[in-house]
Amino acid sequence: MSSAFLITFIVVVIVIVIMIVALFCDFVKWICCQEGQSTTDDQTQTITIYAQTVERFLDDMAKEKPIRFSPQQLESFTGKYSRKLGSGGFGIVYKGKYPNGVELAVKVLNSSATEEVKEQFMAEVRTIGRTYHKNLVRLYGFCFDANLKALVYEYMENGSLDSILFYKNKSIEWEKLHKIAIGAAKGLEYLHHSCEDIIIHYDIKPGNVLLDSNFSAKVADFGLAKLCDRDRTHVTMSGGRGTPGYAAPELWMPFPITYKCDVYSYGMMLFEIALGKKNLDITMSESQQWLPIRVWEKLERGELCDFMGFNGVKDEDITKASLLCTVALWCVQYFPEARPSMIRVVQMLEGSVEVTTPPNPFQHLISSGIGLAVCSQTTEGTSENSYKDSTHIMKKYEIELAISS
């Protein structure tokens, strides 16, 4: 939705609402005249309250603030929650529709939601509720009631990026994948560099990049996001954060955090976009299981283009796919300061700056002789036992990779 269209829509809504209020006032006065009565104090108060409610609505619309919906409104929007889109640990997502026909996705939290899930709910409202960008999913509003807590988003027709990349019954041209990679990068660029406060997402992965009807990418799921004052260079936090396999190494260590952790996660996702497969494949031999280090080895030997072809990338797409992998290697540099900003990443992907050969992002594994011990901190749903049960290759590369079907 363009800014021009949004402004036009707001103006039209304002005009219509003013007309409705005027007609309503005239109608009340006519009733009073018919009954030989003057407008009572109660009637005047009703009109005033109605007008104030409309004004608050229009003010929220103008400021692009999320609207607070009632449980009754959400029940109406979703047709009494008749169409389920998906579910997870947080709750269930339903498809809905505004009275004007605009489609919605309504995320309803489980009634037994933990305090952590409720905190994620508030994080979504606090962060994405104050942003507007074509590559960020739009939060229309929310419901925070004793019996219902829900978030109302714009509906994304083509679902999440992971459903396109990892399921054989869905396919997409490589040119669109390149466009998706750039769109997601621009969404992160906005969060890091264009908002009043820096917004660190903390959970960039294909499942959190949604696609609209034109396969335009929009970053979603801000449940782990944090605001960071631009005067501060680091964020201190306790406990692990993000999804194993995409989370930057520093998120599992007692070190200060910067927005560069999002750059690392984006790089991990970029490998998967370029090659259309998950970064971990336990069906391969141990030396072949982890995709990022295989990409580095091929680049170092001058065999990256051949590697792309071997993995099913068409000849006409090999150059761009190789570019994505090279940019990904820059993004996953071990030290945060060695990673490019998302401004630079966008420039590299769009070809406006030269993309040089990156340093080896896995050099520390060689120089140290052994991998660092895996931190015992865990994310929700990840137990310490799962760390102990990790394969040797996961520990070797210092990251815990979530194995999912």
* Residue 208 annotated as lining a ligand binding site: yes
Report domain extents, the chain.
71-154, 161-396
Counting residues of the chain whose pLDDT is more than 70, the rounded percentage is: 69
Question: Range with the lowest mean pLDDT among 88-92, 292-296, 357-361?
Answer: 88-92
Between 223 and 354, the more confident residue is: 354
pLDDT reading at 229 higher than 50: yes
pLDDT at 364: 76
pLDDT at 9: 62
Average pLDDT over residues 18-29: 60
pLDDT at 46: 58
Question: How would residue 381 be classed by pLDDT, with cut points 50, 70 and 90?
Answer: very low
CATH of segment(s) 161-396: 1.10.510.10
Contact 277, 311 (CB under 8 A): yes
pLDDT reading at 58 higher than 50: no
* Nearest residue to 228 (alpha-carbon basis) of 188, 257, 205: 257
* Nearest residue to 346 (alpha-carbon basis) of 171, 194, 127, 207: 194
The residues that bridge with 142 in the sheet, in sequence order, are 68, 151
* Residue 279 annotated as lining a ligand binding site: no
Q: Would you say the pTM of this structure is higher than 0.95?
A: no
* Whole-number Å distance between alpha carbons of 219 and 360: 28
Question: How would residue 174 be classed by pLDDT, with cut points 50, 70 and 90?
Answer: confident
Average pLDDT over residues 138-167: 91
pLDDT reading at 42 higher than 70: no
pLDDT at 231: 63
DSSP annotation of 249: G
* Whole-number Å distance between alpha carbons of 2 and 5: 5
* Mean pLDDT for the chain overall: 79
Question: Range with the lowest mean pLDDT among 62-71, 72-81, 305-314, 316-325?
Answer: 62-71
pLDDT reading at 63 higher than 90: no
Question: Range with the lowest mean pLDDT among 155-159, 295-299, 378-382?
Answer: 378-382
Alpha carbon 116 to its chain's center: 18
**Most confidently modeled range among 223-237, 265-279, 282-296:** 265-279
pLDDT at 8: 59
pLDDT per position as a tens digit, 306-345: 999 988 889 999 999 999 999 999 999 999 999 999 999 9
pLDDT reading at 373 higher than 80: no
Question: Range with the lowest mean pLDDT among 43-47, 166-170, 329-333, 383-387?
Answer: 383-387
In this structure, which amino acid lies at residue 11?
V
pLDDT reading at 192 higher than 80: yes
Contact 375, 400 (CB under 8 A): no
* Nearest residue to 177 (alpha-carbon basis) of 324, 355, 278: 324
pLDDT reading at 356 higher than 70: yes
pLDDT reading at 170 higher than 80: no
Question: How would residue 153 be classed by pLDDT, with cut points 50, 70 and 90?
Answer: very high
* Residue 134 annotated as lining a ligand binding site: no
The residues that bridge with 68 in the sheet, in sequence order, are 142
Between 65 and 192, the more confident residue is: 192
Between 63 and 122, the more confident residue is: 122
Say which residues have a Cβ less than 8 Å from residue 111's Cβ, sequence separation at least 6: 147
Between 373 and 289, the more confident residue is: 289
Question: Range with the lowest mean pLDDT among 131-140, 224-233, 289-298, 395-404?
Answer: 395-404
pLDDT at 392: 40
Q: What long-range pairs does 22-29 form, CB within 8 A, spacing at least 24?
A: 24/50
pLDDT at 374: 32
Question: Range with the lowest mean pLDDT among 175-189, 210-224, 235-249, 296-310?
Answer: 235-249
- Known catalytic residues are 203
Q: Homologous superfamily of 71-154 in CATH?
A: Phosphorylase Kinase; domain 1 (3.30.200.20)
Do 71-154 and 161-396 fold alike per CATH?
no
pLDDT per position as a tens digit, 7-16: 556 655 665 6
